[in-house]
Amino acid sequence: MINRSQSKARALAREQIPLWKVFGVLFVAAALSLLAGLTHAQEDTTVSHGLSQFGELKYAPDFPYLDYVNPDAPKGGEYSTWAFGTFDSMNPYITKGNAAGSSSIFIESLMTGTADEPDSVYGLIAETIEYPADRAWAIFTLRPEARFSDGTPVTAEDVVFTHYVFLEKGIPSYRAIVEEQIASVEALDDRRVKFTFVEPSEDNTNLLLAAGTPVLSKAQFETRDFAESTLDPIMGTGPYVLESMDVGKKIVYVYNPDYWGEDLPINIGTNNFERIRFEYYADPTAAFEGFKAGEYLFRTENSSQAWAQNYAFPAVENGYVVKEELPDGNIGSAQGFFFNLQREKFSDPRVREAIGMAFNFEWSNKTLFFGLYSRVDSFFKNSALEAQGMIPDDERAILEPLAADLPEEVFTESVYSPPVSGNNQTDRSVIRAAGKLLDEAGWTIQDGVRKNAAGEQLTIEFLNYSPLFDRIINPYLENLERLGIEATNNRVDSAQYTERSRAREFDIMISTYGNSITPGLGLRQTYGSENANVPSRNRAGLANPAIDALVERIIASKTRDELNLNTRALDRALRALHIWVPQWFKDVHTVAYWDVFDYPDPALSPFALGVAGWWWWDAEKAAKLEAEGAL
């Protein structure tokens, strides 16, 4: 437990002085500081503390704190959890090296989102954004108090540097999006930076893209190459700095007592832990044993088998460990086995559909998952973005002009969902139907195996990184063999998995397309043809003109209803293309933790669990466990 004397003094001041006076002074000061900038503005420009893709912002300029946090949450303690694999880099913005999954913790952006609004951002490093009616440009005014962790001020030149170094040396898929939307970035003075867009726009898409720009220190890279993988962390403005690391095994971040943004309304009640620690394990079984032993204290359980069977150890039985299901209102993750569409043998969607039919989810859920999951058959499951049933007229009007690049069944059949199989591992009727599809696609049984007209055998390698998937993949292989397909499960370490997936050296891989409930420019990275042949989130290597056109329609959506409709059309088209074998999802967070944490009551944020964000360390609970020898 720490003593943040400055924080306590400020908290006491907030208790003794009426909030309207505190924030009145702050925003008068902010208005005065902006006066010089506003004199440059045209009469038809908007100056705002936040941005919403659609409609109005939830939080007014003088909001005291976010609705889902505890503004009086105590500070201190440690949040500890586990990570899979290893790491050899602290730069998450390049393709070289295997970056620690938490290595972006140092970096803040100009504006940031909240966990209770899916389509809004509010000022963080930037206190305001100014833009004209045609949204041809945007000017961000930086907060005068914004500082990097070494105490140096953030300037507009740092923003300019970050933009251009990302364009020159950053992840290719990010570069592709930014180059198409942003024409230039320039510093108007120390605190004002202007983004000029390639074209004016009727919506806020480009503004939101610019607002999400992370900010690095230009000075740090005067003697360091941004493109080189290194274990030296990137210096940022965030609330945590690196305390220590055991390379590839453990990494610990500590709260920066001089963090410049501690008292911003958007940060009140957040960043409550003194330390954040990640323990790395090469084996999930070893990770679970580490949790039981108290090597780390918080665990999100992704294994249904473990959730159902492995939590009967003494610490759970005597109440030291809490096992809990918490509501998850977020979009269902599109988790599945993804095809490498660059492989010729997968060029026919009938082949992909047939291979997908061999995966018996119902048997897996009953036998392996203890009935805990539902089938995820949509790329936008559990949301208003999910296509349903036969194509309605409004979706037909969108998709018919694109029919040349879409399967006919988009218009003639109900939106694709995998067939429901029986409770036996092999559903013979489904396997027969899959075999018929393969026959129609030219892959017939010859000498007991599937071959094409050229005599080439149909073989499949599943690229796998976790032993937990072995029990799921191996029965799947048996069903594929019944179809005459030679299928293998190749489990590699996490570094090899990352390297091979980036290079698209696989037949089928396991991945998750983490779509947003407010999809936008990021769809180009996940589904756009321009990212089909470069390391990107387009894992399958999809390149389809109809999908590209649908992505652009979504990006150009002007209302929430229009966005939902366009995304349902995209979902219908993607599902008909069979780029994946959909797996499963659940609408709750299954978590287990040693009883030293607490979170806001009565409800968590609908769109994020937020453990490291707005949970906190309960010193009284921790003392009790220590007194009883549990920790």
pLDDT in tens, 495-521: 899 889 989 999 999 999 878 888 988
> Given pLDDT bands bounded at 50, 70 and 90, which one contains residue 603?
low
pLDDT of residue 42: 52
* Residue 223 Cα distances to 92, 226, 338, 507, angstroms: 19, 10, 41, 42
pTM of the predicted model as reported, rounded to 2 decimal places: 0.75
Quick check: 236 and 216 in contact, CB under 8 A? yes
pLDDT of residue 602: 61
Among 279, 276, 304, smallest CA distance to 294 is for 279
Give the distance from CA 191 to its chain's centroid: 30
pLDDT of residue 172: 82
Quick check: 486 and 493 in contact, CB under 8 A? no
Per cent of the chain over pLDDT 70 is 93
d(CA 517, CA 519) in angstroms, rounded, equals: 6
pLDDT > 80? residue 13: no
* Cβ atoms within 10 Å of 604's Cβ, excluding its own: 22
Q: What is the pLDDT of residues 148-168, one digit of tens each?
A: 999 999 999 999 999 999 999
Q: Can you tell me the mean pLDDT for 588-593?
A: 94
Peptide bond into 172 cis (omega under 30): no
d(CA 379, CA 399) in angstroms, rounded, equals: 17
Largest CA distance in the chain: 85
β-bridge partners, 141: 128, 192
Q: What is the pLDDT of residues 345-394, one digit of tens each?
A: 999 999 999 999 999 999 999 999 888 888 999 999 988 999 999 999 99
> Given pLDDT bands bounded at 50, 70 and 90, which one contains residue 43?
low
pLDDT > 90? residue 142: yes
- Residue 112's φ and ψ, nearest 5 degrees, are -140, 155
What domains can you pick out in the chain, each with its CATH number?
A: 5-69+89-221 (3.40.190.10), 240-329+587-627 (3.40.190.10), 334-585 (3.10.105.10)
Q: Can you tell me the mean pLDDT for 541-555?
A: 97
> Given pLDDT bands bounded at 50, 70 and 90, which one contains residue 288?
very high
Q: Letter for the amino acid at 237?
A: T
Quick check: 94 and 171 in contact, CB under 8 A? yes
Residue with tokens 């559909």: 353
Write the burial class of residue 179 (CB in 10 Å: 0-12 exposed, 13-18 middle, 19+ buried).
exposed
Quick check: 343 and 524 in contact, CB under 8 A? no
Quick check: 186 and 139 in contact, CB under 8 A? no
Q: What is the pLDDT of residues 61-107, one digit of tens each?
A: 999 999 999 999 999 999 999 999 899 999 999 888 889 979 999 99
Query: In the chain, what is the straight-line distance between the N-terminal and C-terminal CA atoms, in Å?
Result: 15
Q: Can you tell me the mean pLDDT for 45-62?
A: 93
pLDDT of residue 10: 33
Higher pLDDT, 618 or 499: 618
Q: Can you tell me the mean pLDDT for 583-590?
A: 90
Higher pLDDT, 348 or 522: 348
Q: Can you tell me the mean pLDDT for 225-239?
A: 94
